[in-house]
Amino acid sequence: MERKDKKYIFIDTTVYRNLFSESEDFSDEFLQFFEKLITVAGIILLLPQQVKDEIERNCIGDWFSENQQALGNKLTKLDDKAARLELDYGTYSKKAVQKIKKDIQREKKTITQKIEKYKKQFLSPKSTSRIKLNKLINLAVLVPESEQILSAAFFRKEKGNPPEDGSKLGDKIIWESLLSYLKENPSGKPKLIFVTKDKKAWRAEASEKLEFNFWLQKEYNKKTKGRVILIEKLSEIPGLTPVEQEKIKDEEERESRRNIIFKLKTSVPEQLKLVNTFAGAEKLMHAIESKLDLIDKEGIEQILKACVENVKHSTGPYNQAIDAGYAPRFTMKLLQKAIDLNLDLSIWKDFYIQLDENNQERFYDLRKLLQDKGVVFALVELKYVHVDDIPF
């Protein structure tokens, strides 16, 4: 006899992406936990064909290219820096310039190695990440597409019914696939645990709580007599033991930290470089400041470079990053983090020297802190001279 009121889990593509760990340490315990859910607890993991296609497509497409592009941009910047070396560092000694050249070549080699690592991780079916991801996928019940599902998704779009997915049919196909499976495999009042980070498509906008879209919830109940529970993290799956919750929570937190650190080195500096309003720059600075505990040497370097390069991309007459009112306080906090990390402060001297006279005055406290930490500024290097700089 068919067991009533079954539980189902659906994991959206956005969550599978987070499981595709940059450092390839997605734990075996996590896979064992899902095997236990399925084999012991009888919970069914549903995988619509649309999601499977998105995962396979993104592994060799967007997920790989977003990492490759970020690193490719860094290579381009290093090439530009190497080309401008004599112009930017002409006043330095020949030995110092040679050291900078070696540092650039060393950094280019590291980035090239990372790109090759990403190629293997995302593109090779034999990579650790791909093998573990495929194991998780193989635990699921695949919901194949049909003409009926595609037709229903098309009419859903024409009628303007949720889920919202812009001009695409993807999320509508996913929803119709889930309804189709549950219609063909009735199980009392099925509870669907819906794991996604895509709030726009699936969350109830009118609710301050994390609730499933009211319209879709009503439709689900009407067609299955069950209900949907919306969660953002796998550790929030109802019915887990405290130990299981803690294991998954730790895994997700580690992955979240890795993602934040990666963004602080790549997409965040790129946004800061391109921002064209003071308000936008300050918003980014506050966002970076809230994550200062996770930033590392590379992240600090990229943010400083982005601030300087903003003037090349701004639509106005100003450098929207450096001229922003909050910039001196923000860079002081960034410098303090660099000091806490015991980093070489020479990049900070380069940053200060590139400022115009007005901004060297605005950022004087930053220079004073650098001097207190042993960084030497020659008078000929300065556009703004403070009374304390005069040796008599």
pLDDT in tens, 69-117: 878 888 888 888 778 777 766 666 777 778 888 888 888 888 888 888 8
The predicted pLDDT at position 351 comes to 94
Return d(Cα 339, Cα 334) in angstroms, integer.
9
Any idea where the domains of the chain sit in the sequence? 1-244, 266-389
Kindly tell me the burial class for residue 159, based on how many C-beta atoms sit within 10 Å of its own C-beta (0-12, 13-18, 19 or more): exposed
Return d(Cα 14, Cα 26) in angstroms, integer.
16
The pTM of the full predicted model, rounded to 2 decimals, is 0.62
Q: Give the pLDDT confidence of 14-64 residue by residue, as tens digits.
A: 888 766 554 444 556 667 777 877 877 788 999 999 999 998 888 877 877
Q: Which of 98, 110, 101, 100 is nearest to 74 (CA)?
A: 110
Contact criterion met (CB below 8 Å) for 282 and 313: no
The predicted pLDDT at position 10 comes to 95
**Chain centroid to CA 116:** 20
Indicate the residue type of 222.
K
Contact criterion met (CB below 8 Å) for 120 and 127: yes
Instruction: Kindly report the average pLDDT of the chain as a whole number.
Output: 85
Mean pLDDT of 135-151: 93
- Tell me: cis bond preceding 186? Omega within 30 of 0 counts: no
- Report the helix count and the strand count for the chain, using DSSP H and E: 19, 5
Percent pLDDT > 70 in the chain is: 90
Mean pLDDT of 9-13: 92
Buried b (16+ CB within 10 A) or exposed e, 338-360: beeeebebeebbebbbbbeeebb
The predicted pLDDT at position 25 comes to 45
pLDDT grade for 2, boundaries at 50, 70 and 90 = very low
Contact criterion met (CB below 8 Å) for 44 and 226: no
